[in-house]
Every structure is written in structure tokens, then in C-alpha cells.
Structure 1
Amino acid sequence: MLSAKSLFQEILDNDESFRLFCSIAASGEAQGGWENGRIAALVPPAERDLAPRIARHGADEDKHGRIFRALLRKRGLEPVPVPEETDYTMLLERHGIGLAHEKLKGDTPLSEEDIVVYLAHSRVTEQRASEQMELLCRYFADHPDVGRAVKMISHDEDSHLAYCHEELLRLAAAGHGRTIQRALRVCALAEIRIHRDVSLAVMARMGRILGWPRAKSALLAAGIRAVYAYERFAGWHRMVSLTMPDRRDALGGPAAPAPEFV
């Protein structure tokens, strides 16, 4: 029977598919760490109190990248180059979602609107990350190799999502509500399309590595497209709603270390 658990188990059990999975994840987390670090350095004076939280967000992402690389080392594996069509963070940036890297590479302070765009982008992508890690925790929290890692990363992703909700609500109360809703909608609709394309590309490569029969690959591709159809019709709304989280000031302290992985 084809299920999410059996699919992930198959990927985890094979060195080459596990190598690709961890390499893609590590690359995306490292990119997120760099982006947040640069945004923290360029925060405008009016939002300087936000800088430590953005820096904490970046430190968490860097930690996650190290965890995925440590999982590879534990199995005696080296990272592989990330295929362009599977590079989620790069494709988002290329499609104008979030802050342009050219802006982040400079020294000019960001504007308040830039901070709104950053937080809207993070709110959408952290929704995806939180859901994906929740799924992995559901099936692999007790896995001897990846269980501790997925639980730690899942906790962090939930904190990131809570932080985005809280800060966007604060900015909405300060008069940025219309800009926030517009940015969230644009980002969500682009994200679900890019997530579909990346998922199709990743599954195609996994299928070649694992020797999946054509029927299995076709069924998985159909499932990915069905999820996109649902998200395009209605599912994207979950990515743009804002509610005050139970976990307040979720990024108010230093990043928790992960010495057992790094």
C-alpha cells in the first residue's frame, strides 16, 4: 500500500535517496539562515527591537542545516549538489517572493515595507515547514536515526510560525494591515505553485534512484497535482490567516544548541 509513511521509509532506507533528501534540506536551511542573518543586519531603525528575533530565526535555520549534514555524516555520506529544479528557496527568490538577494547583499537599511514582505514570506513558508515536520514527527519521532532531529526541528518550525503570526499582527495593528494581506496572498499563491513543481522534481529523482515502476511514479505525481488543485482552490487560505499564537515571544531568547548533532 502506498502511504506517506511507506514513501518516506523507502527514501530513508536507501543511502542515495537519503543523501539527496538531506542535501536538499540542508541547502534550504542554510540559505534561510543566510537570508535571516542579512535581514537582521539591515533592520530599519524603527524595527530595531525585531533584529534579535530575526537573528535567532537565522541561527535556528543554520542549526537545522548542520543537523541534516550531521545525519549524512552519521551514515558515512557526503552531501550532493542540489539540482536546480529542486531548490525551493532559490526558486522562490527567483520568482520575486521575499526580499531579493541583491538587496540583502548590500548595506542599505531595509524599509518597514521590506520587513512586512519578509514576515509575510516567512509566515507562508514556515506554515509549509511546520506541516511537513509535523508529518515526519507523526511517523518517525521514534526512529533511531532521525527521530530526535525531526522532533527538534519541528519544535523550532512551530516557534518560527508563532513568531511570524505575532509580529504580523503587531504590524497590522500599526496600520500595515492591507499591505500584509496583499503580500501574504501573493506569496501563498506563488508558494503553492513552486512547492508543486519542486515536489514533482524531487519525486521524479527519487523514483529514478529507487527504481520505482512507471505506475507508482505516475500515481505520486497525480497526488502532488491533486494537492496543488486543492490548495489553489481553497487550501492557500490557511497560509494567509493570522491568529495570536499560544506560544508568545517564541524567538525571544538564544537559539537552543544541538550538540548531539553538531
Structure 2
Amino acid sequence: MLSAKSLFQEILDNDESFRLFCSIAASGESQGGWENARIAALVPESARDLAPKITRHGADEDKHGRIFNALLKKRGLRPVPVPPETDYTMLLEKSGIGLAHDKLKGDEPLTVADIVTYLAHSRVTEQRASEQMDLLRKHFADHPDIGRAVRMISHDEDNHLAYCHEELLRLARAGHGRAIQATLRSCALAEIRVYRDVSLAVMDHMGRVLGWSRARAGVLAAGIHAVYAWERLAGWRRMVSLEMPERRDALGGPATGAPEFA
């Protein structure tokens, strides 16, 4: 039976597919850590209270990257280069979503509009991350090798999503509501397209590593296209709604370490 659990179990059981999975995940998390660190450094004076939370966000992402690399090391594996077509973070930037890296590499302070863009982009991508980790937690929370990592990362991603909701609502009350909704919508529609393309690319690479038949690869590709069709029709709306989270001030303290992994 083809299910999310059986699919990931197959990836987990094979060293080469597991190495590719962790390498892609570690690269994306590390890139997110760099982006948040640069945004924290460039926050405008009018939003300086956000800087510690953005720093915490980036520290969490860095921690996740270390965790995925530590999982590789635990199995005696080394990271592999990430195929460009599977690089979710960079493909989002190329689609014009989020803050351009050229801007983040400079010294010019960001504007409040830039902060709106950053938070809207994060709200959309953290929705995806939270859902993916929730799925892994559902099936692998008690796994002897990856269970602890899955639980820790899932908890962090839920915190990141709560933080985005709370800060965007605060900015909406300050008069940025229309800009927030417009940015959220454009981010969500771009993200679901990039996610589809990356998912197809990742499954193509995994299929070659694991020797999937053309029929099985076709079924998985059809499933990815079906998810995209649903998201394009209505599913994207879950990424643009805002509500006050149960977890308030989710990034208000220092980042937690992961000495058991890193």
C-alpha cells in the first residue's frame, strides 16, 4: 500500500535516499537561518522590538540544519550537493517571494514594508513546514533514530507559525492590513507552484535512487499534481488566514539548544 508513512519509511531505510533527504533539508534550514540573521541585523528602528524574535527564528533554523547533519553523521553518512531543482528556498527567491538576497547582503536598513514581506513569506512557508513536520511526528515521533529530532523540529515549526500569525495581526492593527493580505495571497500562490515543482524533482531523484518502476513514479507524480490542483483551487486559503494563536509570544525567549544532536 502506498502511503506517506510507507514512502518515508522506504526513504529512511535506504542510506542514499536518506542522505539526499537530510542534505536537502539541512541546506534549506541553514539558508533560512542566514536569511533571518540578516533580517534581524537590518530591522528598521521602528520595528527593533522584532529583532530578538527574528534572531531566535534564525537560530532555530540553524539548529534544524545541524540536527539533519547530525542524523547523517549518526549513520556514518556525509551530505551530498543539493540538486538545484530541489532547492525550495532558492526557487522561492527566484520567484520573487520574500526579500531578495541582494538586499539582505547589503547594509541598507529594511523598511516596515520589507518586514511585512518577510512575515507574510514566513507565514506561508511555516504553514508548509508545520504541516510536513506534523505528518512526520504522527508517524515517526517514537522512531528510535529520528523520533527525537522530529518532535523537536515540529515543536519549533509550530512556534514559528504562531509567531508569524501574532506579528502579522499586530501589523494589521497598525494599518498594514491590505498590504499583508495582498502579500500573503501572492506568496501562497507562488509557494504552492514551487512546492509542486520541488516535490516532483525530489520524487524523481528518490525514484532513481530507490529503483521505482515507471508506474509507481507515475502514481506519485499524479498525486503531487492532484495536491497542487486542490491547493490552486482552494487549499491556498489556509495559508493566508490570520488568527491569534494559542501560543502567544512563541519566540520571546532564547533559542533552545540541541546538544544531543549537534
What TM-score bracket applies, with the shorter chain setting the length? over 0.9
The separation in 2 between residues aligned to 1:251 and 1:3, in whole angstroms, is 34
1:34-183 alignment, distance < 5 Å: 34-183=34-183
The separation in 2 between residues aligned to 1:139 and 1:203, in whole angstroms, is 20
After TM superposition, the runs of 4+ consecutive aligned structure 1 residues lying more than 6 A away are none
Map of 1:194 onto structure 2:
194
The separation in 1 between residues aligned to 2:216 and 2:147, in whole angstroms, is 27
Residue 226 of structure 1 pairs with residue 248 of structure 2: no
> Residue 34 of structure 1: CA displacement?
0.1
The separation in 2 between residues aligned to 1:8 and 1:84, in whole angstroms, is 22
The separation in 1 between residues aligned to 2:42 and 2:3, in whole angstroms, is 44
The separation in 2 between residues aligned to 1:203 and 1:138, in whole angstroms, is 21
Aligned with 2:197: secondary structure? helix
The separation in 2 between residues aligned to 1:227 and 1:216, in whole angstroms, is 17
> Residue 6 of structure 1: CA displacement?
0.3
Give CA-to-partner distance per residue, 1:228-254, whole Å, 9 cap, x none: 000000000000000000000000000
Map of 1:217 onto structure 2:
217
Identity score, percent: 81
- In structure 2, give the amino acid aligned to 1:26: A
Give CA-to-partner distance per residue, 1:176-224, whole Å, 9 cap, x none: 0000000000000000000000000000000000000110000000000
Aligned with 2:257: secondary structure? coil
Q: Give the length in aligned residue pairs.
A: 262
- In structure 2, give the amino acid aligned to 1:222: A
The separation in 2 between residues aligned to 1:215 and 1:96, in whole angstroms, is 35
Map of 1:240 onto structure 2:
240
Map of 1:32 onto structure 2:
32
Structure 2 runs not aligned, ≥5 long? none
Map of 1:7 onto structure 2:
7
Give CA-to-partner distance per residue, 1:109-149, whole Å, 9 cap, x none: 00000000000000000000000000000000011110000
Map of 2:261 onto structure 1:
261
Residue 208 of structure 1 pairs with residue 235 of structure 2: no
Structure 1 runs not aligned, ≥5 long? none
> Residue 170 of structure 1: CA displacement?
0.1
> Residue 41 of structure 1: CA displacement?
0.1
- In structure 2, give the amino acid aligned to 1:96: G
- In structure 1, give the amino acid aligned to 2:102: E
> Residue 12 of structure 1: CA displacement?
0.2
The separation in 1 between residues aligned to 2:138 and 2:161, in whole angstroms, is 19
- In structure 1, give the amino acid aligned to 2:202: V
Give CA-to-partner distance per residue, 1:21-65, whole Å, 9 cap, x none: 000000000000000000000000000000000000000000000
- In structure 1, give the amino acid aligned to 2:122: S
> Residue 164 of structure 1: CA displacement?
0.1
- In structure 1, give the amino acid aligned to 2:142: D
Aligned with 2:260: secondary structure? coil
The separation in 1 between residues aligned to 2:159 and 2:212, in whole angstroms, is 37
- In structure 1, give the amino acid aligned to 2:143: H
> Residue 174 of structure 1: CA displacement?
0.1
The separation in 1 between residues aligned to 2:174 and 2:21, in whole angstroms, is 41
The separation in 2 between residues aligned to 1:188 and 1:2, in whole angstroms, is 28
The separation in 2 between residues aligned to 1:61 and 1:3, in whole angstroms, is 28
- In structure 1, give the amino acid aligned to 2:68: F
- In structure 2, give the amino acid aligned to 1:20: L
Aligned with 2:82: secondary structure? coil
